Protein backbone atom coordinates (compact mmCIF):
# COMPACT_ATOMS: atom_id res chain seq x y z
CA UNK A 1 0.00 0.00 0.00
CA UNK A 2 1.03 3.62 -0.37
CA UNK A 3 2.05 5.97 2.39
CA UNK A 4 0.88 9.39 3.45
CA UNK A 5 3.27 12.22 4.23
CA UNK A 6 2.74 15.67 5.81
CA UNK A 7 1.97 18.34 3.24
CA UNK A 8 5.15 20.39 3.83
CA UNK A 9 7.35 17.36 3.14
CA UNK A 10 5.41 15.85 0.28
CA UNK A 11 5.29 19.10 -1.68
CA UNK A 12 8.88 20.22 -1.16
CA UNK A 13 10.37 18.78 -4.36
CA UNK A 14 7.36 20.00 -6.34
CA UNK A 15 7.37 23.59 -5.10
CA UNK A 16 10.92 24.22 -3.85
CA UNK A 17 11.97 26.26 -6.89
CA UNK A 18 8.94 27.34 -8.92
CA UNK A 19 5.36 28.31 -8.27
CA UNK A 20 2.76 25.69 -9.00
CA UNK A 21 1.86 25.52 -12.66
CA UNK A 22 4.62 27.86 -13.89
CA UNK A 23 6.89 26.41 -16.54
CA UNK A 24 10.62 27.19 -16.28
CA UNK A 25 11.99 29.89 -18.55
CA UNK A 26 13.80 27.42 -20.79
CA UNK A 27 14.85 27.90 -24.40
CA UNK A 28 12.85 24.80 -25.28
CA UNK A 29 9.57 26.68 -24.92
CA UNK A 30 10.40 29.31 -27.53
CA UNK A 31 7.99 28.98 -30.44
CA UNK A 32 6.31 25.80 -29.14
CA UNK A 33 2.51 25.70 -28.96
CA UNK A 34 1.60 24.60 -25.44
CA UNK A 35 -1.36 22.45 -24.52
CA UNK A 36 -4.22 24.65 -23.24
CA UNK A 37 -4.68 24.38 -19.48
CA UNK A 38 -6.48 21.26 -18.34
CA UNK A 39 -8.98 21.37 -15.46
CA UNK A 40 -8.26 20.75 -11.80
CA UNK A 41 -9.64 17.48 -10.47
CA UNK A 42 -12.72 18.17 -8.37
CA UNK A 43 -14.95 15.40 -7.10
CA UNK A 44 -14.87 11.74 -8.01
CA UNK A 45 -13.68 10.23 -11.31
CA UNK A 46 -13.57 6.56 -12.29
CA UNK A 47 -11.29 4.97 -14.87
CA UNK A 48 -9.64 1.76 -15.95
CA UNK A 49 -6.23 3.36 -15.36
CA UNK A 50 -5.17 6.32 -13.24
CA UNK A 51 -1.69 7.74 -13.93
CA UNK A 52 0.17 10.03 -11.53
CA UNK A 53 2.46 12.31 -13.53
CA UNK A 54 2.17 13.83 -17.02
CA UNK A 55 5.73 13.34 -18.24
CA UNK A 56 7.12 10.95 -20.82
CA UNK A 57 6.27 7.84 -18.77
CA UNK A 58 2.74 8.88 -17.89
CA UNK A 59 1.80 10.41 -21.23
CA UNK A 60 3.22 7.51 -23.26
CA UNK A 61 1.34 5.08 -21.02
CA UNK A 62 -1.84 7.12 -21.31
CA UNK A 63 -1.68 7.27 -25.10
CA UNK A 64 -0.88 3.56 -25.41
CA UNK A 65 -3.68 2.59 -23.01
CA UNK A 66 -6.25 4.80 -24.70
CA UNK A 67 -5.36 3.39 -28.11
CA UNK A 68 -5.94 -0.07 -26.60
CA UNK A 69 -9.44 0.93 -25.50
CA UNK A 70 -8.78 1.72 -21.84
CA UNK A 71 -10.42 4.65 -20.05
CA UNK A 72 -7.57 6.76 -18.67
CA UNK A 73 -7.22 9.62 -16.18
CA UNK A 74 -3.90 11.45 -15.67
CA UNK A 75 -3.20 13.55 -12.57
CA UNK A 76 -0.46 16.19 -12.86
CA UNK A 77 0.69 18.39 -9.99
CA UNK A 78 1.69 21.27 -12.31
CA UNK A 79 1.31 21.34 -16.12
CA UNK A 80 1.91 18.60 -18.69
CA UNK A 81 5.63 18.22 -19.32
CA UNK A 82 6.48 20.53 -16.42
CA UNK A 83 9.04 18.21 -14.79
CA UNK A 84 12.18 16.57 -16.11
CA UNK A 85 10.44 15.53 -19.33
CA UNK A 86 10.11 19.13 -20.49
CA UNK A 87 13.50 20.46 -19.41
CA UNK A 88 16.15 17.73 -19.86
CA UNK A 89 19.06 17.48 -22.30
CA UNK A 90 16.85 16.09 -25.06
CA UNK A 91 19.23 13.24 -25.88
CA UNK A 92 17.56 10.30 -27.61
CA UNK A 93 20.10 7.75 -26.49
CA UNK A 94 21.14 4.14 -26.75
CA UNK A 95 20.76 1.21 -24.41
CA UNK A 96 21.10 1.01 -20.66
CA UNK A 97 23.67 2.49 -18.30
CA UNK A 98 25.22 -0.99 -18.02
CA UNK A 99 27.07 -2.68 -20.87
CA UNK A 100 25.88 -5.95 -22.38
CA UNK A 101 28.73 -7.76 -20.65
CA UNK A 102 27.81 -6.32 -17.25
CA UNK A 103 24.17 -7.29 -17.71
CA UNK A 104 25.19 -10.78 -18.82
CA UNK A 105 27.41 -11.23 -15.77
CA UNK A 106 24.53 -10.26 -13.49
CA UNK A 107 21.49 -11.71 -15.25
CA UNK A 108 22.83 -14.26 -17.75
CA UNK A 109 23.61 -14.03 -21.46
CA UNK A 110 20.08 -14.78 -22.67
CA UNK A 111 18.52 -12.08 -20.50
CA UNK A 112 21.19 -9.56 -21.49
CA UNK A 113 20.53 -10.25 -25.17
CA UNK A 114 16.80 -9.81 -24.65
CA UNK A 115 17.39 -6.53 -22.80
CA UNK A 116 19.55 -5.32 -25.70
CA UNK A 117 16.66 -6.10 -28.05
CA UNK A 118 14.28 -4.15 -25.83
CA UNK A 119 16.63 -1.15 -25.76
CA UNK A 120 16.93 -1.21 -29.55
CA UNK A 121 13.15 -1.39 -29.93
CA UNK A 122 12.74 1.42 -27.41
CA UNK A 123 14.96 3.70 -29.50
CA UNK A 124 13.20 2.85 -32.76
CA UNK A 125 9.72 3.29 -31.29
CA UNK A 126 10.58 6.50 -29.46
CA UNK A 127 11.98 8.10 -32.61
CA UNK A 128 8.85 7.11 -34.49
CA UNK A 129 6.67 8.51 -31.72
CA UNK A 130 8.55 11.83 -31.68
CA UNK A 131 8.20 12.21 -35.43
CA UNK A 132 4.52 11.29 -35.28
CA UNK A 133 3.27 13.39 -32.36
CA UNK A 134 5.85 16.21 -32.25
CA UNK A 135 7.37 17.16 -35.61
CA UNK A 136 8.26 20.52 -34.04
CA UNK A 137 10.60 18.68 -31.65
CA UNK A 138 13.12 18.67 -34.54
CA UNK A 139 14.43 15.14 -33.98
CA UNK A 140 18.02 15.05 -35.28
CA UNK A 141 20.20 11.95 -35.49
CA UNK A 142 23.80 11.87 -34.30
CA UNK A 143 25.03 11.30 -30.73
CA UNK A 144 28.64 11.16 -29.49
CA UNK A 145 29.85 9.45 -26.32
CA UNK A 146 33.02 11.40 -25.50
CA UNK A 147 35.91 10.46 -23.20
CA UNK A 148 38.72 12.51 -21.73
CA UNK A 149 41.71 10.14 -21.56
CA UNK A 150 43.20 7.23 -23.46
CA UNK A 151 42.68 4.73 -20.65
CA UNK A 152 38.95 5.44 -20.62
CA UNK A 153 38.84 5.19 -24.41
CA UNK A 154 40.51 1.79 -24.37
CA UNK A 155 38.00 0.63 -21.75
CA UNK A 156 35.19 1.84 -23.98
CA UNK A 157 36.72 0.00 -26.94
CA UNK A 158 36.72 -3.24 -24.95
CA UNK A 159 33.31 -2.80 -23.34
CA UNK A 160 31.25 -4.45 -26.07
CA UNK A 161 31.03 -4.77 -29.86
CA UNK A 162 30.31 -1.32 -31.21
CA UNK A 163 28.35 -2.43 -34.27
CA UNK A 164 27.20 0.59 -36.24
CA UNK A 165 28.94 3.12 -33.97
CA UNK A 166 31.90 4.99 -35.46
CA UNK A 167 35.08 5.34 -33.38
CA UNK A 168 36.46 8.88 -33.26
CA UNK A 169 40.06 9.79 -32.42
CA UNK A 170 41.18 13.11 -30.96
CA UNK A 171 41.31 14.87 -34.34
CA UNK A 172 37.84 13.64 -35.29
CA UNK A 173 36.45 14.75 -31.92
CA UNK A 174 37.90 18.21 -32.47
CA UNK A 175 36.39 18.33 -35.93
CA UNK A 176 32.94 17.25 -34.75
CA UNK A 177 32.71 19.20 -31.51
CA UNK A 178 35.15 22.08 -31.80
CA UNK A 179 36.60 21.10 -28.41
CA UNK A 180 40.13 19.90 -27.68
CA UNK A 181 39.07 18.48 -24.30
CA UNK A 182 38.35 14.96 -25.53
CA UNK A 183 40.79 12.28 -26.66
CA UNK A 184 38.14 10.28 -28.52
CA UNK A 185 34.70 8.75 -28.45
CA UNK A 186 32.03 6.97 -30.43
CA UNK A 187 29.44 8.41 -32.79
CA UNK A 188 26.05 6.76 -33.25
CA UNK A 189 23.96 7.82 -36.22
CA UNK A 190 20.89 6.00 -34.86
CA UNK A 191 20.68 7.97 -31.62
CA UNK A 192 20.27 11.73 -31.52
CA UNK A 193 18.48 14.62 -29.82
CA UNK A 194 15.26 16.63 -29.85
CA UNK A 195 13.39 19.42 -28.09
CA UNK A 196 11.96 17.47 -25.12
CA UNK A 197 9.40 20.11 -24.18
CA UNK A 198 7.91 19.94 -27.67
CA UNK A 199 7.85 16.15 -27.44
CA UNK A 200 6.02 16.24 -24.09
CA UNK A 201 3.47 18.71 -25.44
CA UNK A 202 2.96 16.54 -28.53
CA UNK A 203 2.36 13.45 -26.39
CA UNK A 204 -0.19 15.34 -24.31
CA UNK A 205 -2.04 16.57 -27.40
CA UNK A 206 -2.13 13.03 -28.83
CA UNK A 207 -3.36 11.60 -25.51
CA UNK A 208 -6.13 14.18 -25.24
CA UNK A 209 -7.16 13.48 -28.83
CA UNK A 210 -7.35 9.77 -27.95
CA UNK A 211 -9.79 10.48 -25.13
CA UNK A 212 -7.47 10.66 -22.13
CA UNK A 213 -8.71 12.94 -19.33
CA UNK A 214 -5.84 15.04 -17.97
CA UNK A 215 -6.21 17.02 -14.76
CA UNK A 216 -3.53 19.61 -14.03
CA UNK A 217 -2.74 21.40 -10.75
CA UNK A 218 -3.94 18.20 -9.09
CA UNK A 219 -1.13 16.63 -7.04
CA UNK A 220 -1.88 13.21 -5.60
CA UNK A 221 -1.08 12.98 -1.91
CA UNK A 222 -2.14 9.38 -1.32
CA UNK A 223 -2.37 6.28 -3.49
CA UNK A 224 -3.56 2.80 -2.64
CA UNK A 225 -5.45 -0.12 -4.10
CA UNK A 226 -7.85 1.36 -6.64
CA UNK A 227 -7.52 4.91 -5.29
CA UNK A 228 -5.65 8.16 -5.92
CA UNK A 229 -6.51 11.03 -3.60
CA UNK A 230 -5.93 14.73 -4.24
CA UNK A 231 -6.85 17.74 -2.14
CA UNK A 232 -10.04 18.36 -4.10
CA UNK A 233 -10.98 14.97 -5.50
CA UNK A 234 -10.23 11.31 -5.96
CA UNK A 235 -9.95 8.75 -8.74
CA UNK A 236 -10.94 5.12 -8.39
CA UNK A 237 -9.52 2.74 -10.99
CA UNK A 238 -8.62 -0.86 -11.65
CA UNK A 239 -4.95 0.02 -12.26
CA UNK A 240 -2.69 2.84 -11.10
CA UNK A 241 0.70 3.93 -12.49
CA UNK A 242 3.04 5.96 -10.29
CA UNK A 243 5.02 7.92 -12.90
CA UNK A 244 6.44 10.96 -11.12
CA UNK A 245 10.15 9.98 -11.42
CA UNK A 246 12.06 12.37 -9.10
CA UNK A 247 8.93 14.02 -7.76
CA UNK A 248 6.57 12.51 -5.16
CA UNK A 249 8.58 9.34 -4.63
CA UNK A 250 7.04 9.26 -1.14
CA UNK A 251 3.76 8.00 -2.60
CA UNK A 252 5.01 4.44 -2.26
CA UNK A 253 7.71 3.19 0.11
CA UNK A 254 9.29 0.81 -2.41
CA UNK A 255 9.76 3.62 -4.89
CA UNK A 256 11.05 6.02 -2.23
CA UNK A 257 13.67 3.46 -1.19
CA UNK A 258 15.05 3.08 -4.73
CA UNK A 259 14.56 6.34 -6.64
CA UNK A 260 16.61 9.37 -5.60
CA UNK A 261 15.82 12.90 -6.84
CA UNK A 262 18.74 15.13 -7.85
CA UNK A 263 18.91 18.51 -9.57
CA UNK A 264 20.67 19.28 -12.83
CA UNK A 265 21.17 22.53 -14.74
CA UNK A 266 21.09 23.79 -18.32
CA UNK A 267 21.59 27.00 -20.27
CA UNK A 268 21.23 28.23 -23.83
CA UNK A 269 23.83 30.60 -25.23
CA UNK A 270 23.14 33.50 -27.51
CA UNK A 271 23.49 32.65 -31.23
CA UNK A 272 27.25 32.29 -31.65
CA UNK A 273 27.66 33.07 -35.33
CA UNK A 274 31.25 32.46 -36.43
CA UNK A 275 32.08 31.33 -32.87
CA UNK A 276 29.72 28.35 -33.07
CA UNK A 277 32.06 25.43 -32.37
CA UNK A 278 30.33 22.40 -33.86
CA UNK A 279 30.73 21.51 -37.51
CA UNK A 280 27.51 19.49 -37.76
CA UNK A 281 24.32 18.96 -35.75
CA UNK A 282 25.24 16.29 -33.23
CA UNK A 283 24.67 15.83 -29.49
CA UNK A 284 27.49 15.01 -27.06
CA UNK A 285 27.70 13.53 -23.60
CA UNK A 286 30.92 12.64 -21.78
CA UNK A 287 32.24 10.27 -19.14
CA UNK A 288 32.47 12.59 -16.15
CA UNK A 289 30.46 11.48 -13.11
CA UNK A 290 28.76 14.90 -13.28
CA UNK A 291 28.73 14.77 -17.03
CA UNK A 292 28.59 17.51 -19.64
CA UNK A 293 25.92 17.13 -22.32
CA UNK A 294 25.20 19.53 -25.13
CA UNK A 295 24.18 20.14 -28.71
CA UNK A 296 24.08 23.04 -31.13
CA UNK A 297 20.81 24.54 -32.31
CA UNK A 298 20.09 25.45 -35.95
CA UNK A 299 20.65 29.14 -35.14
CA UNK A 300 24.09 28.44 -33.65
CA UNK A 301 23.37 28.32 -29.91
CA UNK A 302 24.88 25.79 -27.55
CA UNK A 303 22.19 24.06 -25.51
CA UNK A 304 24.42 23.04 -22.63
CA UNK A 305 23.87 20.91 -19.54
CA UNK A 306 26.37 20.69 -16.72
CA UNK A 307 26.49 20.77 -12.95
CA UNK A 308 24.16 19.21 -10.42
CA UNK A 309 23.20 19.48 -6.77
CA UNK A 310 21.70 17.13 -4.26
CA UNK A 311 19.41 19.28 -2.13
CA UNK A 312 15.93 20.43 -3.05
CA UNK A 313 16.79 24.03 -3.91
CA UNK A 314 18.40 25.27 -7.12
CA UNK A 315 21.43 27.59 -6.77
CA UNK A 316 20.81 31.34 -6.92
CA UNK A 317 22.90 31.63 -10.10
CA UNK A 318 22.18 28.68 -12.38
CA UNK A 319 24.01 30.31 -15.28
CA UNK A 320 27.23 30.46 -13.26
CA UNK A 321 26.90 26.77 -12.37
CA UNK A 322 26.60 25.83 -16.05
CA UNK A 323 29.35 28.24 -17.11
CA UNK A 324 31.81 26.52 -14.78
CA UNK A 325 31.30 23.32 -16.75
CA UNK A 326 31.16 24.90 -20.20
CA UNK A 327 34.52 26.70 -19.81
CA UNK A 328 36.23 23.34 -19.19
CA UNK A 329 35.05 22.07 -22.59
CA UNK A 330 35.03 25.36 -24.50
CA UNK A 331 37.45 27.78 -22.81
CA UNK A 332 37.14 30.03 -25.86
CA UNK A 333 33.46 30.55 -24.96
CA UNK A 334 33.91 31.32 -21.27
CA UNK A 335 32.54 34.84 -21.77
CA UNK A 336 29.56 33.92 -23.94
CA UNK A 337 26.16 35.32 -22.95
CA UNK A 338 23.30 33.03 -21.94
CA UNK A 339 19.75 33.91 -22.98
CA UNK A 340 18.12 31.20 -20.84
CA UNK A 341 19.18 29.17 -17.79
CA UNK A 342 17.07 26.63 -15.93
CA UNK A 343 17.19 23.73 -13.52
CA UNK A 344 15.30 20.48 -13.21
CA UNK A 345 14.81 17.52 -10.92
CA UNK A 346 15.55 14.11 -12.37
CA UNK A 347 15.98 10.76 -10.65
CA UNK A 348 18.64 8.09 -10.35
CA UNK A 349 18.77 4.66 -8.77
CA UNK A 350 21.76 3.10 -6.96
CA UNK A 351 22.64 1.11 -10.10
CA UNK A 352 21.64 3.81 -12.63
CA UNK A 353 19.12 1.37 -14.10
CA UNK A 354 15.40 2.16 -14.25
CA UNK A 355 13.07 0.90 -11.56
CA UNK A 356 9.95 -0.63 -13.12
CA UNK A 357 7.76 -2.83 -10.94
CA UNK A 358 4.37 -4.31 -10.23
CA UNK A 359 3.86 -3.23 -6.61
CA UNK A 360 0.72 -5.30 -6.11
CA UNK A 361 -2.88 -4.20 -5.58
CA UNK A 362 -3.03 -3.03 -9.20
CA UNK A 363 -0.27 -0.43 -8.61
CA UNK A 364 2.69 -0.15 -10.97
CA UNK A 365 5.68 2.19 -10.92
CA UNK A 366 8.36 3.28 -13.39
CA UNK A 367 11.17 5.80 -12.93
CA UNK A 368 14.80 6.38 -12.03
CA UNK A 369 15.97 6.61 -15.65
CA UNK A 370 19.30 8.16 -14.67
CA UNK A 371 19.82 10.28 -17.76
CA UNK A 372 18.13 7.97 -20.30
CA UNK A 373 14.61 9.28 -19.79
CA UNK A 374 13.64 10.39 -23.29
CA UNK A 375 13.80 6.83 -24.64
CA UNK A 376 13.40 4.64 -21.56
CA UNK A 377 10.56 6.61 -19.99
CA UNK A 378 8.66 6.61 -23.27
CA UNK A 379 9.10 2.86 -23.62
CA UNK A 380 8.59 1.85 -20.00
CA UNK A 381 5.25 3.62 -19.97
CA UNK A 382 4.03 1.37 -22.76
CA UNK A 383 5.51 -1.76 -21.15
CA UNK A 384 3.55 -1.08 -17.97
CA UNK A 385 0.31 -0.81 -19.90
CA UNK A 386 1.09 -4.01 -21.77
CA UNK A 387 1.64 -5.77 -18.43
CA UNK A 388 -1.73 -4.51 -17.17
CA UNK A 389 -3.26 -6.08 -20.28
CA UNK A 390 -1.52 -9.41 -19.66
CA UNK A 391 1.39 -8.92 -22.11
CA UNK A 392 4.19 -9.31 -19.61
CA UNK A 393 7.29 -10.71 -21.35
CA UNK A 394 9.24 -7.48 -21.88
CA UNK A 395 7.93 -5.89 -18.70
CA UNK A 396 9.17 -8.87 -16.70
CA UNK A 397 12.60 -8.67 -18.34
CA UNK A 398 13.04 -4.97 -17.56
CA UNK A 399 11.73 -5.55 -14.03
CA UNK A 400 14.69 -7.92 -13.51
CA UNK A 401 17.17 -5.04 -13.79
CA UNK A 402 18.93 -4.75 -10.42
CA UNK A 403 17.61 -1.73 -8.52
CA UNK A 404 18.23 -2.43 -4.83
CA UNK A 405 17.00 -0.16 -2.08
CA UNK A 406 19.25 2.78 -1.29
CA UNK A 407 21.67 2.13 1.58
CA UNK A 408 19.93 3.30 4.73
CA UNK A 409 16.40 2.74 3.48
CA UNK A 410 13.68 5.33 2.97
CA UNK A 411 14.78 7.69 5.76
CA UNK A 412 18.57 7.59 5.38
CA UNK A 413 19.02 6.34 1.81
CA UNK A 414 19.00 9.80 0.25
CA UNK A 415 21.54 11.10 2.77
CA UNK A 416 23.92 8.18 2.26
CA UNK A 417 23.64 8.37 -1.53
CA UNK A 418 24.09 12.14 -1.56
CA UNK A 419 27.36 11.82 0.33
CA UNK A 420 28.58 9.30 -2.24
CA UNK A 421 27.56 11.47 -5.19
CA UNK A 422 29.20 14.54 -3.69
CA UNK A 423 32.43 12.54 -3.35
CA UNK A 424 32.37 11.44 -7.00
CA UNK A 425 31.57 15.00 -8.08
CA UNK A 426 34.59 16.22 -6.08
CA UNK A 427 36.76 13.61 -7.84
CA UNK A 428 35.63 15.11 -11.16
CA UNK A 429 36.66 18.59 -10.07
CA UNK A 430 40.02 17.36 -8.80
CA UNK A 431 40.66 15.29 -11.94
CA UNK A 432 41.04 12.04 -9.98
- Residue 58 maps to which CATH number? 3.50.50.60
Q: Is residue 19 part of a domain?
A: yes
Pair (166, 300) in one structural domain: yes
Q: How far apart are CA 405 and CA 254, in angstroms?
A: 8
Pair (71, 34) in one structural domain: yes
Question: What confidence score (pLDDT) does residue 419 get?
Answer: 45
**pLDDT tens, position by position, 191-232:** 999 999 999 999 999 999 999 999 999 999 999 999 999 999
Pair (279, 370) in one structural domain: no
Check: CB of residue 254 under 8 Å from CB of residue 400.
no
**pLDDT tens, position by position, 345-384:** 999 999 999 999 999 999 999 999 999 999 999 999 999 9
Q: Is residue 417 part of a domain?
A: no
Pair (59, 172) in one structural domain: no
pTM: 0.92
Reported as a pLDDT band with limits 50, 70 and 90, residue 163 is low
**pLDDT tens, position by position, 44-88:** 999 999 999 999 999 999 999 999 999 999 999 999 999 999 999
Domain containing residue 383: 7-88+197-259+350-401
Pair (344, 268) in one structural domain: yes
Q: How far apart are CA 295 and CA 325, in angstroms?
A: 14
Count of structural domains, the chain:
2
**pLDDT tens, position by position, 9-57:** 444 789 899 999 999 999 999 999 999 999 999 999 999 999 999 999 9
Pair (290, 158) in one structural domain: yes
3 burial via Cβ count (<10 Å: 0-12, 13-18, 19+)? middle
Q: Is residue 165 part of a domain?
A: yes
Q: Is residue 135 part of a domain?
A: no
Q: Is residue 176 part of a domain?
A: yes
Rounded to the nearest 10 degrees, the angle between the axes of helix 373-388 and helix 109-133 is: 100
Pair (311, 286) in one structural domain: yes
Pair (307, 357) in one structural domain: no
pLDDT of residue 335 exceeding 60: yes
Higher pLDDT, 252 or 425: 252
Q: Is residue 121 part of a domain?
A: no
Pair (45, 171) in one structural domain: no
Pair (218, 275) in one structural domain: no
Amino acid sequence: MGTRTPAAERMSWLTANEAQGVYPDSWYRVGIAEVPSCPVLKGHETADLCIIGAGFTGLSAALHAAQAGMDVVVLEAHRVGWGASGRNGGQVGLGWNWSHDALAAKLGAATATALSRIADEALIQTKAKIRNVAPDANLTEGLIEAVFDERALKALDAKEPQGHRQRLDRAAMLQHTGSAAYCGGYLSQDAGFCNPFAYAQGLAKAALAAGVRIFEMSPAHRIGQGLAQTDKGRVTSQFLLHATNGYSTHLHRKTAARVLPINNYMAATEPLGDRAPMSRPVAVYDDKFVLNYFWQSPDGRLIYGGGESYGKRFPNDIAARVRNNLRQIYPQLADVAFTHAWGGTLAVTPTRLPYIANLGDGIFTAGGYSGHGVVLASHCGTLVVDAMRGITQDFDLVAQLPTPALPGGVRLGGIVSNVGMRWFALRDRLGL
